[in-house]
Each structure stands twice: as C-alpha cells, then as structure tokens.
Amino acid sequence: MDFNLTEEQTAIQDSLKRYLAKDYAFEQRRALTKTPLGHSAEAWATYAELGILALPFPESAGGLGGNAVDTMLIAETLGASLALEPFLSTVVLSGSLINEIGTPAQRDTLLAGITQGTLQVALAHGEPGARYATNHVAATAKKDGAGWSLSGHKVVVLGAPSADKLLVSARTSGSAFDTNGVSLFVVDAKAAGVTVRAYATQDSQRAGEVLLKDVKVGADALVGAVNQALPAIEHAIDRGIAALCAEAVGVMAALNAATLEYLKTRKQFGQPIGKFQALQHRMAEMAIATEHARSMALLAAVKVESADVAERRRNVSAAKAYIGQSARTVGQGAVQMHGGMGVTDELIVSHFFKRLTVINATFGDADHHLGKFSDSLLAA
Amino acid sequence: MNLDYSPEEQEFRDEVRSFIQANLPADIRDRAKTGGRGGKDDIVRWQKILYEKGWGASSWPEQYGGPGWNAVQRHIFEDECAEAGTPMQLPFGLKMVAPVIMRFGNEAQKSYFLPRIISAEDWWCQGYSEPGAGSDLASLKTRAVRGTDAEGEHYIVNGQKTWNTLGQYADWIFCLVRTSTEGRQQEGISFLLIDMKTPGITVKPIIMLDGEHEVNEVWFDNVRVPVENRVGDENKGWTYAKFLLGHERTGIAGVGRSKAALRRLKSLARRQAGDNGKPLIEDQRFRDRIAQVEMELMALEITNLKLISEEGKAHAPGPEASMLKIKGSEIQQTLTELCMQALGPYSVPWLHDGQDLAGSSQPLAESFTVRDAGTSGAYFNTRKTTIYGGSSEIQKNIISQMILGL
C-alpha cells in the first residue's frame, strides 16, 4: 500500500498547473466559450507539448506509458481550471479504445494524431431511448461491398463539433439491448451522410447529436472484431468515468477554496459570514465530502484497469455514485453560501456548480450507479 | 500509488490471522459469534494473550513494549481483530492515558504505569466529563486543592465525573480537575491519576437506553491524591487533555469493526425474508440502503488509510481525525439501524441477555437467533457514537477552526 506519487507524476501535474494558472484564467476561459471552436487550440497544442495527450498510451504507440492514476492527476488539474478542451473524449475515451482494439494501422495513424495534438476524436455511442444503458445500440452497420453502410442517431456526443473523426458503435447483429452484435467504426466527421448538430452544454462545453444516414465506410474502418466491440466500449466508458470522478474532485476542491475565501471576506451583521456556525458546519461538511470523494476517485483510478471486469465495474460505479452525491453537496452548498452572487454568471462559482452537475449526468448519474453497485451485492 | 497490500503486508496479515486463529480462546470466539457479552474477563484474557505475544499495544513505541509496527500494519492488525470478532482492547489505558504518560509523564510514572497497562494488570477509566461539563469540557468543576500532611504533598479532590465507560471495573481513573479558578478556565486544569481504591470514591451505575450498564458516575468526596500522581505541570492539564482527545479520535473511525458489521448486515439480509418471501436482499429499496452505507465505508477506509500513512510522517494526529470521527460514527449508526430494520417485526422484542421474561433463551423462531436478539439494542446503543469523544457538532467546530481557519 502506497499513497505516494512518483516524481514524474508530480512534475507533469505541476507543469500543467503552471500553464493553466498563467494562460487559462477564468476570464480567458469565458472568452473561449464564446468562440466558434469553444475551446483553446493553443491550449490543446500545449497539452501535446507537455505530453498530456500521450500520457496514457504505451510507448510502442508513441505514448508515455502512463496509467489511470496519471490520468486522474491530469483530469483533476483540468477540473480545477474548468478546462474546455476535449481531453476526455479524445484521449480518455477514443484514444484508449483505439489503443485497445484498433488495428496496427489505426493505432499508427490515429494515436499518432491524438498524441501530437493534430487529431480530435469523439466517441458516438449513446442513443435515444438508451438513457444510461451502455448496451443499447440500435444504429446499424450493414455490409456494403467490401465495406459498411452506417445509419443511426447518437445523442450528446461529447466533443463532436470539433472532432475530426468519430468512433461510432453500430449493430451488426441482434437487437437493441443485446450485448453481442455491437461493432465499432471510425468515421470521418465530414463524411457524406454524417450530420453533427452541434450545441453548447450547460457547462459551456461543446457536444452534439450525430446523425448517420447511409454513411459508407471501407473495410478498414472497422475497429476491433465484428460483433464484439461492446466490452471494450464499456471499458473505455469506465475509464471516462474514472477521469470524470477525478475532474469532479478538482472542481470540488477549487469550489471549496472559493467558498472559504468568500466566507472569510464577505461581511454581514458586522462580521465575516464565516463566523456563523450554520455556515461553518456546512463548509465543514463540504470539506469532508471532498476528501472522501477524493478517496473514491483514487479507488476508481486504481481499479479501472482491473482484469476482473465485475470488480472493475463495481468499484467504478461506487465511485461515480459517491462522487455524484458529494458533488451535489458541494456544488449546491457553495452556491447557497455565496448568496445572490452564487446564482450569477459573473462568479466562477456557478460555472463550477454547472460542471459538477453535468459530470453527474454524464455516463450515469448517482442513482444509476448506486443501482449498479447495489445489484453487484446480489452476486457477492 | 497502490491500494493493494504488498507481498510483505500480505504476509503480515497472514501471520496476524493465524495467530488469532490459534490463540483466541474458543469460549470467547463462541460468545463473539452469538453476540454474547464476555465482560471484563474476556477483555483482560485477550489483552494478556496479546501482551505475551508482544502485540499488547499496537500503537506504542518499541521502548515501551510496542511491536514497532507502521501505520499500515496497525491497520491490518485492527482489521483482522475485527474480522475475527476478538474482544476489544480497552482504549482508556492503551490509547488515551498511555500516550499522555509517555509524552508528559515523569520517569517514575512511565515505569510504574505503562507496564501495568499493556499487561492488563490495571483497568483504566476516563474521568473527563462532568454533569455540567460535556461539550464545554473546560468548564469542569471537580476541585483539587493542594495541601500537605504527615504523608506528604497531595491534592484533596471533590466533585463528580460522569459517563465513565466500564468504570465499574476500574483500578485507576485519569481525571481532569480544577486546580485554579484564576484566568481563563482552560488555564486552571490539571491531569491526575487516581487509584480507584482510594477512600471517598463512589461509583454509581448509569443504565443506558438499551438497558445495559456500560457507563457510570464517579463521585469524589475528599479523595486524597498524592501530588506525584499529577501528570506534567499544575494548571497545564488542558494541553494534555487535547493531546489525548486527538489520540482518541483516530481509532474512533472504527473501519474494521464497521466492515465486520457490514458483513453481518448482508448475511442478515440474505437470511431474513422480504415481504414477498424472497430474501430481503432482493428487495431493491433495502439493498440500495446497504449499497449506500457500503460506499460510505469504502470512502472512509481509503481516507483513513491515507491519513494514517501520513501520520507516520508527522506523528500527532491532527484535526483531520475529526473528519474520520464524524463519518465513522455515522456509518456505525447506519449499520446498526439497517440491521435492526432487516429484522422487521423481530426488531421489537427486548430479550435481555437473550432471555425472555421466564428466563428462557430458546430462539423465538428459526429466523431469529440468540445473536439477533441483541440487534435492536445495538441500534439504540450506537446513538452514543456521534456524541462521545466530542459530538459531531463539536468535530465540525474543530474542522471549521483548525482546518478551514474560520
């Protein structure tokens, strides 16, 4: 048992922190949210330079050979600055999928692009009617000569508007909720028949609906084995959840710091409002919630690469549920204690709160994962 | 960063496990299985067994007879004891007064008291709270007046202490007493070690809501205490008291015991029928409650490990222990509440020591064993956990002031 970080881990996290502190202040971020791209191309290039985009991939694929704890540290740091870049969708979700089940050619070209910062990829998996079920795939891929023809509707695809490529899950056999029969394809975002209906998300990131109508792709677009892609997709989503948990912890810690500062400076009834016990106790509860959430994010990171799938999913669900609940405690508490200022757009507080709320609703909310974790008790 | 036990740590765990297997007396083990109460005898016997092995005080430095374990080893040891259902190790001597004596006591006190604590020769109880001094401990009024007689310098102690856990068995009590009424109330407190056989001491039982005699009142009527039984300086006792409370709170997370209680809850939920005749654990509403508390316990365990691994670096437990105390005590309460709820209508009977009014301890039904009879009592009993050792509200004050700087 060892809670220490390696020198490399501390170093890369520190360099990212320094960059964000200098060039990614809240007002700069605000300006970015109003641009057509919605994030910073310069920041993305800097992440590539720092090695962040290559971190979780093996050295054989041009990566730095990092693990999920490395990803945790990066996600936490990005969270504290509310970074807008599609690290989650490109690196954690899509990159890990390509790395795990991609052909050598796909790994060569796509991972090279991702690690160098020249390629963004979005995972198009969720569908209308699926809610948070990961095994619901109704989009279809039909044999079309040597290649495939894809049709379907993918919902709230994170990072889709800026993505160069989409990883699209589609059914090659069976029906909507079957775990077998799901295949994965890499599709050019500009391909004929692909429509990305882009929108901003509640927390000022970008996502979109992806509509596919008879999209023709070649045989080399297939990622992984036919009909067998679902386990890898679910693993990628679990990696995404672990990263989201860490990001939430970064947001919560930053939000607590902002709230604490406010409690010490805002005066009412002739004294700092932090002198009032009702607020002190609420702040103490937020600090406790954040410390315990941090422990659960760590648990998710160390278990997400577990070879035992049931063990992996059980721990990831426990972490996501716990962090969903803690994020609600911290987010709502911070807004409440900021009073009227907490519900304005002006302070970063409401932006932290919105990010936490969106994180909870992404890849299964607290109730969904509590249910998953709860059901795992039947097997135990 | 690695949450798994290393091969060396696993080896240590196996060693502890087989020692307990081989040395926990069968009658104690059976009592633990059936939920019976062994009382003082079981606690003393087990402590002596651990002492013989050199494991009598897992957190003590080696110079005083500790085993020289690191924080992770101590955690493993406590986990294994909880898993096996060993009697508790009395904290009042081992974890409360002993660290104070080690840190602030003189050589005579160290060489007399510490060996007697670790070998279970002396049974200690705590003399902190008073009827008028609970959360506001520094307002305590038990008076110690200095004097001299033929036998030497002494204090004459008058007053009343309360909530003395297992004080009915005690050989010694450590007491906070008022030696000065000048200045701030914290500045007039001294820390005395008092022999319970001294004339003028009366112990009166307090029966708690579960019907058990676990705590007492201790009355002092002109009790003569030799001045050499004072730890540290006169009027500096508050510093020692706070040091002690920090130590009290670290063990208070109770992770090992709660893990054992969670296993018992799950086993209960598998044995008890739900409303549809299927096992209760298949009732999603109930199962979700178990899942919720299990998640809380997972988070507590990792946080606890993180904190104790840092404790190795900077020794004294800091205010962070307050976080563990709040969460740990809430989890203990939730677990006993769910165990009680799992019994449904059988949460109602009160079978004192497992017996009905005619004195029979025949199980009431196959699904309701003698051990289950103590379940509701445990729910009532654990209401104390968010109150003792500094209530949850006091812990939040400590966090606000010491960690958050409010």
With an 8 Å Cβ cutoff, is B402 touching chain A?
Answer: no
Between the alpha carbon of residue A282 and those of residues A265, A349, B36, B280, the distances in Å are 17, 16, 40, 35
Chain A neighbors of B393, CB-CB under 8 A:
281
CA angle, A249 as apex, A326 and A300 as ends, to 5°?
90
Does residue B205 contact residue B168 with C-beta atoms inside 8 Å? yes
Q: Over the stretch A263-280, which tens digit does the pLDDT of each residue have?
A: 999 999 999 999 999 999
φ/ψ (deg, to 5) at B58: -65, -25
> Among A1, A295, A375, whose Cβ lies nearest the Cβ of B299?
A295
Residue from B116, B114, B89 nearest B101 by CA = B114
Strand pairing class (B213-226; A271-272): unpaired
CB A222 within 8 A of CB A377: no
Q: Residue B44 pLDDT > 50, yes or no?
A: yes
Instruction: Please tell me which residue of chain B has the smallest CA distance to A68.
Output: B1
User: Is 50 exceeded by the pLDDT of residue B315?
Assistant: no
Cβ contact B65:B54 at 8 Å: yes
For residues A69 and A243, give the distance between their C-alpha atoms in angstroms, rounded to a whole number: 9
Structure tokens at B170: 């005690």
In Å, how far are A42, A57, B86 from A46, measured between CA atoms? Answer: 6, 18, 57
Which of A245-249, B162-166, B305-309, B394-398 shows the lowest mean pLDDT across its residues? B305-309
The residue ranking higher by pLDDT, B377 or A246, is A246
Partners of B292 on chain A (C-beta within 8 Å) are 370
- State yes or no: pLDDT of A337 exceeds 60: yes
* DSSP β-bridge partners for residue A106: none
Which residue in chain B has the smallest CA separation from A321? Answer: B295
| Whether pLDDT at B319 is above 80 | no
pLDDT (mean) for B137-164: 96
Least CB-CB distance to A302: which of B1, B282, B309?
A: B1
Is residue B90 helix, strand or coil?
A: coil
Which chain A residue is nearest to residue B303, measuring alpha carbons? A295
Out of B3, B9, B284, the one facing A374 most closely (by C-beta) is: B284
Contact A377 B281 (CB under 8 A): yes
Q: Which of A128, A110, A118, A92 is nearest to A185 (CA)?
A: A110
Q: How far apart are CA B35 and CA B243, in angstroms?
A: 34
The per-residue pLDDT for range A186-227, each reduced to its tens digit, is 999 999 999 999 999 999 999 999 999 999 999 999 999 999
The answer to whether the CB atoms of B400 and A318 lie below 8 A apart is no
> How many beta carbons lie within 10 A of that of residue A218, not counting itself?
13
- A61 alpha carbon, distance to own chain's centre: 22
CATH pick for B124-235 out of 2.40.110.10, 3.20.20.70, 3.30.750.24, 3.40.50.300? 2.40.110.10
Distance between A231 CA and the closest CA of chain B, angstroms:
25
Q: Find chain B residues with C-beta within 8 A of A301's C-beta.
A: 1
**Cross-chain Cβ contact B288/A321 below 8 Å:** no
Which of B218-227, B264-273, B293-302, B370-379 is least confident? B370-379
Contact A370 B403 (CB under 8 A): no
Q: Is the pLDDT of residue A316 over 80?
A: yes
All residues of chain B having their beta carbon less than 8 Å from the beta carbon of residue A286 are none
Query: What mean pLDDT value characterizes chain B?
Result: 92
Question: With an 8 Å Cβ cutoff, are A299 and B287 in contact?
Answer: no
Distance from the Cα of B5 to chain A's closest Cα (Å) equals: 5
pLDDT band at A46 (very low <50, low <70, confident <90, very high): very high
Cα-based angle B322, A13, A323 (whole degrees, multiple of 5): 45
User: Which among A5, A280, A296 has the least Cβ separation from residue B299?
Assistant: A296
pLDDT tens by residue, A62-73: 999 999 999 999
- Shortest distance, CA A299 to any CA of chain B (angstroms): 8
Joined together, the tokens standing for residue B205 give 């039982």
Helix (H, G, I), strand (E, B) or coil at B59: coil
Assign B154 to helix, strand or coil.
Answer: strand
Q: Tokens for A234?
A: 């679910």
pLDDT for residue B35 is more than 80: no
pLDDT value at residue A344? 97
> Which three-class secondary structure state does DSSP give residue B176?
strand
What is the homologous superfamily of the domain B252-403 according to CATH? Butyryl-CoA Dehydrogenase, subunit A, domain 3 (1.20.140.10)
- When CB atoms are compared, the residue of B1, B310, B399 closest to A69 is B1
Residues 6+ apart with CB under 8 A from B112: none
Contact A76, A244 (CB under 8 A): no
Contact A38/A84 with Cβ under 8 angstroms? yes
Contact assignment for B291 to A370 by CB distance below 8 Å: yes
The answer to whether the beta carbons of residues A110 and A186 sit under 8 Å apart is: yes
Tell whether B342 lies on the interface with A, counting CB pairs under 8 A.
no
Place A349 in a pLDDT band, splitting at 50, 70 and 90. very high
**Which of A69, A291, A293 has its CB closest to that of B323?**
A291
Q: Indicate yes or no: CB of A298 within 8 angstroms of CB of B1.
A: yes
Q: Which of B391, B44, B133 is nearest to B252 (CA)?
A: B391
Strand partners, A208: A157, A198
Q: What percent of chain A has pLDDT over 90?
A: 98
The C-alpha torsion from A305 through A306 and A311 to A315, rounded to 10°, is -40
Q: Is the dihedral of CA B68, B70, B71, B77 positive or negative?
A: negative
Candidates B74, B292, B295, partner chain A, best to mutate (most A CBs within 10 A):
B295
Average pLDDT for chain A? 97
Mean pLDDT of B270-295: 96
The secondary element (H helix, E strand) that includes residue B299 is helix B284-311
For residue A169, how far is the Cα from the chain centroid? 18
Whether the CA torsion B308, B310, B312, B315 is positive or negative: it is negative
Partner A contacted by B10 (CB < 8 A):
no
* B396 touches A at CB < 8 Å: yes
**Phi–psi pair at A45, nearest 5 degrees:** -65, -35
Instruction: Measure the CA–CA gap between B62 and B68, rounded to whole angstroms.
Output: 5
Q: How confident is the model at residue B34 (pLDDT cuts 50, 70, 90)?
A: low
Q: Does the beta-carbon distance from B299 to A277 stay under 8 Å?
A: no
- Pairing of the two strands B189-195 and B172-178: antiparallel
The model's confidence at residue B245, banded by pLDDT at 50, 70 and 90, is confident
Could you give the CA distance from residue B119 to residue A281 in angstroms, rounded to a whole number? 42
pLDDT at residue B317 in the model: 57
Taking the CA of residue A3 and the nearest CA in chain B, the distance in Å comes to: 5
pLDDT, average across residues B326-334: 97
Number of alpha carbons in the 13 Å side-chain half-sphere of residue A363: 28
User: Rounded to whole angstroms, how far apart are CA atoms A318 and B299?
Assistant: 9
Cβ-based interface (< 8 Å): residues of A facing B? 1-5, 9, 69, 260, 263-264, 274-275, 277, 280-281, 283-285, 287-288, 291-296, 298-299, 301-302, 318, 321-322, 370-371, 373-375, 377-378, 380
* Residues contacting residue A340 through CB under 8 Å, at least 6 positions apart: none
pLDDT confidence band for B246 (50 / 70 / 90): confident
User: What mean pLDDT is predicted for residues A79-84?
Assistant: 98
Question: Quick one: pLDDT at residue B10?
Answer: 96
- DSSP at B69: -
Q: To 5 degrees, how large is the angle CA B228–CA B232–CA B236?
A: 125
Residue B153: helix, strand or coil by DSSP? strand
Residues of B in Cβ contact (< 8 Å) with A321 = 295
Of B225, B203, B218, B202, the residue nearest B144 (C-alpha): B225
Position of tokens 């997400």? A304
Q: How far is the alpha carbon of A107 from chain B, nearest alpha carbon, in Å? A: 28
Domain residue spans of chain B: 7-89, 124-235, 252-403
**One-letter amino acid identity for B181?**
T
Mean pLDDT, to the nearest integer, of A72-88? 98
* Contact between chains at B406 and A280 (C-beta distance less than 8 A): yes
All residues of chain A having their beta carbon less than 8 Å from the beta carbon of residue B287 are 374-375, 377-378
Which domains, from first to last, does chain A contain?
7-119 (1.10.540.10), 123-227 (2.40.110.10), 231-379 (1.20.140.10)
Strands B213-226 and B189-195: unpaired
| DSSP line for B231-248 | ESSTTBHHHHHHHHHHHH
**What's phi and psi for B5, nearest 5 deg?**
-70, 140
DSSP B120: T
Contact A321 B295 (CB under 8 A): yes
Using 50, 70 and 90 to split pLDDT, how confident is the model at B248?
low
Q: Average pLDDT, stretch B382-405?
A: 93
CB pairs under 8 A between A and B: 124
Whether the predicted pLDDT of B49 surpasses 60: yes
Contact residues on chain A for B303, CB-CB shorter than 8 A: 291-292, 294-295
What's the pLDDT band for B36 if we cut at 50, 70, 90? low
Tell me the pLDDT band of B250, cut-offs 50, 70 and 90: low
Q: Please answer yes or no on whether A1 and B287 come within 8 Å at the CB atom.
A: no
- SS3 labels along chain A: CECCCCHHHHHHHHHHHHHHHHHCCHHHHHHHHCCCCCCCHHHHHHHHHHCCCCCCCCHHHCCCCCCHHHHHHHHHHHHHCCCCCCHHHHHHHHHHHHHHHCCHHHHHHHHHHHHHCCCCEEEECCCCCCCCCCCCCCCEEEEECCEEEEEEEEEEEECHHHCCEEEEEEECCCCCCCCCCEEEEEEECCCCCEEEEEEECCCCCEEEEEEEEEEEECHHHEECCCCECHHHHHHHHHHHHHHHHHHHHHHHHHHHHHHHHHHHHCEECCEEHHHCHHHHHHHHHHHHHHHHHHHHHHHHHHHCCCCCHHHHHHHHHHHHHHHHHHHHHHHHHHHHHCHHHHHCCCCHHHHHHHHHHHHHHCCCCHHHHHHHHHHHHHHC
